[in-house]
A and B are shown apart, each in its own frame.
Chain A
Amino acid sequence: MSSITTRDAPRGFSASAYMTCLTGIVWREGLRFLHQRERFVSALVRPLVWLFIFAAGFRQVLGISIIPPYETYILYEVFIAPGLMAMIQLFNGMQSSLSMVYDREMGNMRTLLVSPLPRGFLLFCKLLAGTAVSLLQVYAFLIIAWFWDITPPPIGYLTVLPALILSGLMLGSLGMLISSGIKQLENFAGVMNFVIFPMFFASSALYPLWRVQEGSPYLYYLCEANPFTHAVELIRFALYGQINWVSLAVVAGCTIVFMIAAIYAYDPSRGLARRGPAGGEG
């Protein structure tokens, strides 16, 4: 132990080292989440308010015709449940990505980034860990929603999982890309106003798109071009054991593009240098 033996250290890393790293990052994120009960509660309260209050109020206003994947008339609550699941992921993705770029989480981003494994891989692990946390939130929401008569087929709880992983990664990468690329959006209020609300409202989360088309064709095209719409539809179909191929293609494509761009654009010096001269502490 006392002599310097760098010469015989193996170069590179084994596949198991990568796996250890990935599970370690996800494990830590999960542990931290369990310790932050307020974060969990607020992540749940938001969609439940929509479900219990907004949906109850709008149930009489909006009639929903039978559209795939639904096979019967459904309550408005049932229609917006997938949209609210995606909303949970949208908030979670934006929140965790914002804290990766700006200094709130800078201390532990430092420890993460001095790992000798490739930086792109570390950021991917971090995005996956954020997605894992969003899964906990979404499934907790589904359990409560079940008591509110939102009862997809049992197999749906399993088939929705891959859809949620993909949409979680897409929204997390988008959040990271936005926070790295747009300097003005460095606080959560900005992201709420300019990203979350427009994405959420210009999507199929709250109303079927044929209704939007009746009202305004332009808005319809905007909704169709919104990746969040496709995340919602992917989740909606998967929850009923079906695949919406167009949405799958859009979400998968966006995930790849956003993630590569986000990893490329990620610059830890932004969160550090912003705090003042010489990285904050001389």
Chain B
Amino acid sequence: MTSPAPIAEPRETPRPDPAAAPALSIDGISHSYGPRRALIDVSFNVQPASFTALLGLNGAGKSTLFSLITRLFGIQSGRVGIFGHDISRTPGEALRLLGVVFQPRTLDLDLSLTQNLLYHAALHGISRREAAARSAELLARIGLSDRAGSKVRDLSGGQMRRLEIARALLHRPRLLLLDEPTVGLDVKARADIISHVRQLVTEQGIGVLWATHLFDEIMAGDDLVVLHQGKVLAQGPMSRVITEPGAQDVNTAFMRLTGAQTMPGGGP
């Protein structure tokens, strides 16, 4: 390997200490589409080796937030840090620690499973040989080794999601973002995906931010961020978010917080 080309960074910025920094820090983020405000002063953290659920209805601003964290949109105000690396100032360092599963499918349907993984590895500058080894290993882990050469088009929805998660892990990120990853999946596939991601948290210490509007995907012990109409209404350990508004479960707590009349889809 040749000497790494340094990425330009302002000199006054102290080098962040990744061990001390949260996996993800969202600090005072606001975002508008013209006159419409999609996010209003959003702040929260995701710790390493934790599962944080970002709970909100459709239109709450979850996807906008994801687009800001992944640098797809320019940040209008506030700050996003990934293990202390500012996404606006040192995007390269921040993005290499980040794996993402977007809500819409982003696989190449006509390419094989392996080809999809190799392409992603190339985008991260991982050499072909190393990429082939990691792809084989990840395909084995998600139980799709025997499908390595088939077209992605022939996979089921659940298999595609598993492949997308494998792809997001290919460059060994320390933070994983998933934007409503179980939408459109059947009960069995949903359960598989959820347990797989929870395993990543406990076994590999990955910090996970899981955006959802489905209450039953959240478990005791998770951290919870409730996002509604662009604002964070509550955040903290799940038990506290439930008990503070005097509720017994997430569903009731969410309704009390938002004043929502109708129960969102996926509630029990």
Chain A: residues with CB nearer than 8 A to chain B? 1-4, 6-7, 9-18, 20-21, 23-25, 27-28, 31-32, 35-36, 106-108, 110-119, 122, 267-269, 272-273, 277-282
Does B63 count as interface, using CB distance less than 8 angstroms? yes
* Residue B61 CB within 8 A of the other chain: yes
Given contacts A6-B97, A273-B33, contact A116 B92 (CB under 8 A): yes
Residues in A neighbouring B56, C-beta threshold 8 A: 282
Q: Which of A36, A111, A122, A280 contacts B63 (CB 8 A)?
A: A280
Residue among A9, A20, A35 facing the most chain B CB atoms (10 A cut-off): A20
B81 to nearest A CB, angstroms? 13
Sort A-B residue pairs by CB-CB distance and give the 7 closest, nearest first.
Answer: A24-B122, A17-B125, A282-B58, A116-B95, A115-B123, A6-B18, A116-B96
Asked if residues A118 and B122 are in contact (CB atoms below 8 Å), the reply is no
Given contacts A6-B174, A277-B36, contact A14 B2 (CB under 8 A): yes
From 104 to 123 in chain B, residues with beta carbon under 8 angstroms from any chain A beta carbon are 104-106, 108, 110-111, 115, 118-123
Asked whether A27 lies within 8 Å of B102 as measured between CB atoms, the reply is no
* Number of interface residues, chain B, beta carbon within 8 A: 68
Q: B27 at the A/B interface (Cβ < 8 Å)?
A: no
Can you list 15 A-B contacts with CB-CB less than 8 angstroms, sorted by A residue number?
Answer: A4-B48, A6-B19, A11-B6, A12-B4, A12-B6, A20-B126, A21-B124, A23-B122, A32-B110, A108-B108, A111-B106, A116-B93, A117-B92, A268-B73, A281-B103
Asked whether B60 lies within 8 Å of A282 as measured between CB atoms, the reply is yes
Contacts of B48 in A (CB 8 A): 4
Answer whether residue B55 sits at the interface, using C-beta atoms and an 8 A cutoff. no
Contacts of B67 in A (CB 8 A): 269, 272, 279
List residues of chain A with CB within 8 A of the CB of B231: none
In B10-56, which residues have CB < 8 Å from any A CB? 17-19, 33, 36, 38, 48-49, 56
How far apart sit A25 and B125, CA to CA, in the bound complex (Å)? 11
Which of B18, B33, B74 contacts A7 (CB under 8 A)?
B18
| Cα(A28)–Cα(B119), bound, Å | 7
B19 in contact with A4 (CB, 8 Å): yes
Residue B157 is within 8 A (CB to CB) of chain A in the complex: no
Q: For B61, what are the chain A residues with a Cβ–Cβ distance below 8 Å? A: 278, 282
Given contact pairs A10-B4, A117-B92, A107 touches B123 in the complex (Cβ within 8 A): no
- With A and B bound together, what is the CA distance between A7 and B61 in angstroms? 32
Question: Across the interface, which residues of B come within 8 angstroms of A23, CB to CB?
Answer: 122
Closest-CB distance, B209 to chain A (whole angstroms): 14
CB of B93 within 8 A of CB of A11, answer yes
B234: interface (CB < 8 Å): no
Asked if residues A4 and B4 are in contact (CB atoms below 8 Å), the reply is no
Give every chain A residue within 8 A of B180 (Cβ-Cβ).
281
Cβ-defined contact, B120 with A111, below 8 A: yes
B252 at the interface (CB under 8 A from A): no
Name the one of A2, A36, A269 contacting B73, with C-beta atoms under 8 angstroms. A269
Residues of B within 8 A of A9 (CB): 96-97
Residues from chain A with a CB closer than 8 A to the CB of B121 are 24
A14 touches B125 (CB 8 A): yes
Which residues of the partner chain A approach B33 to less than 8 Å between Cβ atoms? 273, 277-278
